[in-house]
Structure 1
Amino acid sequence: MVKKNDQLVVTIEDIGSEGEGIGKYEGYTLFIKNTVVGDKVLVKVMKAGKSYGYAKLLEVIEASPYRVILRCDKAEKCGGCQIMHIDYAKQLEYKENKVRNCLARIGGFENIPMEPILGMEKPYYYRNKSQFPVGKNKEGKVIIGFYAERTHSIIDTDHCYIGAEINMPIIRFMRSFIEKYNIEPYNETKHMGLLRHILIRVGYTTGEVMVCLVINGRDFPHKKELVEGLRKIPGITSICLNINTAKTNVILGEEVIKVWGETYITDYIGSIKYRISPLSFFQVNPLQTHRLYQIALDYAGLTGDEVVWDLYCGIGTISLFLAKKARKVYGVEIIPQAIDDARTNANINGIENVEFFVGAAEEVFPRKHNEENIKADVIVVDPPRKGCDQKLLDTIISIAPKKVVYVSCDPATLARDLKYLNANGYELKKVRAVDQFAHSSHVETVALMIKV
């Protein structure tokens, strides 16, 4: 019987949904982080249930051929890169299998029409948004970095291999600035101190860079020196403050104050231009997002005569993409600021065949359809990780569009929702996974359902 604190030798046979290795000891299943299929490892059991447990890697006895040397010495502690130790081609295979297995196991699909996963050409330095918590260590030294996985302990670092390269000089400058002017970092426990986070957003096409300081207060000292120092870094076009005085672990507050430049940057996905504020939701990997949306557009198969609904539309990223090929696009999103951004983005691009509504998709969509007789030839959904609301799926089934294009960030909820659509008159025609987040266990997927 396996028990806590046992030290065991196991061989890793599979990878779990969060990127952890799975091995067996005399039929007992163990989940072990930072391991790879093919590794022979010495582990210590940390938690033991009846049929499975969790263990900590102590030593790699024989390394898998798929194990690679970590570029980042923080990766095993930081929560951002769960599978950086796995060869990138093997990461893609894992993610494609993750989607396929969810569709088979949860969705009940057989002969799944999967197209090859779309990987990244350059799987490093791809994130256009990074949020660095600021604090002090036990010795009182300023620390800036990322939270350790499942904690609010800050791992001190100037360098992140998946963040934009411009982050490094910005964080180095901010570290010296905080120390020079004795800026007090925020203390979560005591709810004291000024500087909570440093938010950096980068326009990958435009080269524009935003530095937004999240503060527990209304003002920031030495703004003149702050601006002078940051402006020496190439690309800085926006320096602003975000006011968050609440005792919360939510990073951003509602109010943004301009310090210098604009309170937004601009960037492109394909040929569409977007205005991005500190509060805007914008995909963190614009190159792969372009490819993701192109797949969604291809799956929609628009001829120019369709009425399309984009549900959970955010700031209109997919809506504006679809509008190039549709007669009319309607976007629905529950967050008012996102709809404001969507309308601004439509105006910036001179796109007139789109209309945006604020509200819950499951309420706005059927109301507009029933009261104003607005039809739907194609419905695109891009829901949060929890998937589509049951009421929304029922509405889609009752309105019966010819096509449903489902963009998903969670294969499990995707499989659940596709199963429901499949049981109610829709056939799964195409599926393709897209790697938006290299070195993490997350995967995006696009699926096409056709009314039969």
Structure 2
Amino acid sequence: MRKSKFKQYVLTNIPITNAGSEGKSIARQDEKVVLVDYAVPGDIVDLRVISSRKKVNFGKVEKIITSSPDRVEPFCSHFGICGGCKWQQMSYTAQLRYKNQQVLDAFERIGKFPFLPFLPILGSAKTQGYRNKLEYSFTDRKWLTEVSDKEQMTESEHKGLGFHVPGRFDKVLDIEHCYHQPDPSNQIRLAVRDFAIKAGHTFHNAHSQDGFMRNIIIRNASTGEWMVVVVFKENDQEKIQPLMLHLQQQFPQITSLLYVINGKMNDTIHDLPVHVFAGKDHLVERLGNTQFHIGAKSFFQTNTDQTINLYNVARDFAGLTGSENVYDLYTGVGTIALYVAEKAKQVVGIEYVEQAIVDAKHNANLNQNTNTHFYAGDMKDMLNDELIAKHGKPDVVITDPPRAGMDEKVIQKLMEVAPQKIVYVSCNPATQARDIALMQELYEVTKVQPVDMFPHTHHVENVALLELRVSS
């Protein structure tokens, strides 16, 4: 039997009481929670309930009756459609307050920690132009934000270059200006889009997987270097060369002008060769005294300035004096490992992605670093007795796992090895609290430091220091 369509309805004069998950805010309808997009705690609104699940309803603001003191005017014309900055309507002070609360709630609710020594959240000095990487998608059917007669639109008018609309893999919002990255990022994106339209190049179609223009990646470094990677479907040099030459001539700031041919059914380029049209195949970035080569496929934290603050917290929590044996789990391209290496006797980095370890070893050589060792493989398999026998028991473990947190076998091994300190860096306080709760028999949480890496979003990083209990 076909499920009946949900009948929407409006609730009037509803107070927004708190910030919820995934950037939504919380209201209540009798005993049921309503998660509301783009509301601010303290607002009183009329809201439209648009869908329902067993324990929660979902709604959107129909009308603001009374604005919260924390409500501000969004600065981006794409706000509310793009989905990239769900908290632009909230003052930055309030954003930090709710992110801090998000971490506290995770440790109290999931970790069952009644009291922890929380340090005030570290805000980002830059709240605009703080990202060093953006990726845009081409589309031959851009998302229309206004009522238009589609039949009267030309083929060119349907083309766009921007971000995927939340929940719609096949829809792309054409972006005129993005505040995430400093100039000339916007000018580069618009130049590529306009040149491709004028040249008559076909744009990607998500359903048929056709279209010559697929993606563009723009990266920049604090050293002033810029990288542009244009992704084409076919190796048609008669089309590629003029476009790339146009970029080279218009933007002398670009130090790495690259392209990729991707004829696959997905957008990932990690298994594809990168071609250098002009300049170098990498950017040079610096974090303190350490420099890194960043290629088109390299992972690197996207807020460079705040990354330094995050890593300083991790290094300070580790309390390194130069005599410690440090293990860096989920090391990626070795950024944390290399950043703390000058204050450690030895650092052993482990990472699942083989190419990341290739990059880590390259960056170690770049910095003439001789006290780091890097290994690729599944963490639960690599963190074993053989590795520990080879490099010695760790005094300090720094772990920065993906959002899913650490595998239970990894946690069990850490408990068995029992380093004096574990510095747990996380992009997901919920899984972090869960993992730490599994270790509290041996470890006491002595410091917790939230760090805001992504202003105007609900995401928050957190660093926790675990110290071996005296009785252990």
Q: Do Structure 1 and Structure 2 share a fold, with TM-score over 0.5?
A: yes
Q: Given that residues 223 and 259 in structure 1 are in contact (C-alpha distance below 8 angstroms), is that contact kept between their aligned partners in structure 2? A: no
2 CA distance for matches of 1:264 and 1:65? Answer: 46
SS for the counterpart of 2:424 is strand
2:8 alignment partner in structure 1: 5
SS for the counterpart of 2:336 is helix
Deviations 1:211-260 (A, max 9, x none): 10122223443444334322222420111112322112546543211111
1:198 maps to 2:198: no
The one of 36, 55, 63 aligned to 2:67: 63
1 CA distance for matches of 2:260 and 2:446? Answer: 45
1 CA distance for matches of 2:410 and 2:204? Answer: 41
1:148 alignment partner in structure 2: 165
Q: Given that residues 329 and 400 in structure 2 are in contact (C-alpha distance below 8 angstroms), is that contact kept between their aligned partners in structure 1? A: yes
Q: Given that residues 267 and 276 in structure 1 are in contact (C-alpha distance below 8 angstroms), is that contact kept between their aligned partners in structure 2? A: yes
Q: Given that residues 209 and 265 in structure 1 are in contact (C-alpha distance below 8 angstroms), is that contact kept between their aligned partners in structure 2? A: yes
What amino acid does structure 2 have at the position aligned with 1:30?
A: V
Q: How many residues align?
A: 448
1:110 maps to 2:127: no
The one of 203, 224, 227 aligned to 1:207: 224
CA RMSD, aligned part only?
1.5
SS for the counterpart of 2:168 is coil
1:435 alignment partner in structure 2: 452
Deviations 1:372-430 (A, max 9, x none): 2621110111000000111111010000100000000001100000101113x000010
1 CA distance for matches of 2:390 and 2:226? Answer: 43
Matches within 5 A, 1:8-23: 8-9=11-12, 10-23=14-27
Q: Percent identity?
A: 37
1:356 maps to 2:374: yes
What amino acid does structure 2 have at the position aligned with 1:86?
A: M
Q: Given that residues 226 and 253 in structure 2 are in contact (C-alpha distance below 8 angstroms), is that contact kept between their aligned partners in structure 1? A: yes
1:412 alignment partner in structure 2: 430
TM-fit CA distance, 1:275:
0.6
TM-fit CA distance, 1:85:
0.7
What amino acid does structure 2 have at the position aligned with 1:208?
A: E
What amino acid does structure 2 have at the position aligned with 1:174?
A: V
The worse-fitting range, judged by mean Cα deviation, of 306-315 and 40-49 is 40-49
The one of 246, 253, 278 aligned to 1:260: 278
2 CA distance for matches of 1:324 and 1:243? Answer: 40
1 CA distance for matches of 2:32 and 2:240? Answer: 59
Q: Given that residues 369 and 375 in structure 1 are in contact (C-alpha distance below 8 angstroms), is that contact kept between their aligned partners in structure 2? A: no
Q: Given that residues 70 and 94 in structure 2 are in contact (C-alpha distance below 8 angstroms), is that contact kept between their aligned partners in structure 1? A: yes
What amino acid does structure 2 have at the position aligned with 1:311?
A: L
2:336 alignment partner in structure 1: 318
2:39 alignment partner in structure 1: 35
1 CA distance for matches of 2:376 and 2:131? Answer: 28
Matches within 5 A, 1:219-368: 219-231=236-248, 232-250=250-268, 253-368=271-386
2 CA distance for matches of 1:271 and 1:42? Answer: 53
Normalised by the length of structure 2, the TM-score is 0.92
Q: Given that residues 146 and 156 in structure 1 are in contact (C-alpha distance below 8 angstroms), is that contact kept between their aligned partners in structure 2? A: yes
Q: Given that residues 132 and 146 in structure 1 are in contact (C-alpha distance below 8 angstroms), is that contact kept between their aligned partners in structure 2? A: yes
1 CA distance for matches of 2:391 and 2:60? Answer: 58
1 CA distance for matches of 2:367 and 2:199? Answer: 43
2 CA distance for matches of 1:218 and 1:390? Answer: 46
2 CA distance for matches of 1:263 and 1:228? Answer: 17
2 CA distance for matches of 1:130 and 1:326? Answer: 34
1:124 alignment partner in structure 2: 128
Q: Given that residues 197 and 251 in structure 1 are in contact (C-alpha distance below 8 angstroms), is that contact kept between their aligned partners in structure 2? A: no
2 CA distance for matches of 1:154 and 1:124? Answer: 22
TM-fit CA distance, 1:185:
1.3
Normalised by the length of structure 1, the TM-score is 0.96
2 CA distance for matches of 1:274 and 1:236? Answer: 18
What amino acid does structure 1 have at the position aligned with 2:193?
A: R
TM-fit CA distance, 1:50:
4.2
The worse-fitting range, judged by mean Cα deviation, of 214-223 and 405-414 is 214-223
Deviations 1:256-299 (A, max 9, x none): 11111112111112221111111100000010000000000000
SS for the counterpart of 1:440 is coil
The one of 75, 95, 103 aligned to 1:91: 95
The worse-fitting range, judged by mean Cα deviation, of 436-445 and 130-139 is 130-139
Structure 2: stretches of 5+ with no match in the other structure: 1-5, 142-149
What amino acid does structure 2 have at the position aligned with 1:339?
A: I
2 CA distance for matches of 1:188 and 1:24? Answer: 38
The worse-fitting range, judged by mean Cα deviation, of 41-50 and 283-292 is 41-50
The worse-fitting range, judged by mean Cα deviation, of 393-402 and 254-263 is 254-263
SS for the counterpart of 1:94 is helix
What amino acid does structure 1 have at the position aligned with 2:44?
A: K
TM-fit CA distance, 1:176:
1.8
1:79 alignment partner in structure 2: 83
Q: Given that residues 196 and 216 in structure 1 are in contact (C-alpha distance below 8 angstroms), is that contact kept between their aligned partners in structure 2? A: yes
Residues 348 and 374 of structure 1, relative CA distance in 2, 3 Å threshold: same
Deviations 1:112-161 (A, max 9, x none): 11101000112001110000101122642320111111222111113111
1 CA distance for matches of 2:206 and 2:137? Answer: 11
The worse-fitting range, judged by mean Cα deviation, of 367-376 and 433-442 is 367-376
What amino acid does structure 1 have at the position aligned with 2:199?
A: Y
2 CA distance for matches of 1:219 and 1:421? Answer: 56
The one of 399, 405, 421 aligned to 2:417: 399
SS for the counterpart of 1:422 is coil
Q: Given that residues 134 and 218 in structure 2 are in contact (C-alpha distance below 8 angstroms), is that contact kept between their aligned partners in structure 1? A: yes
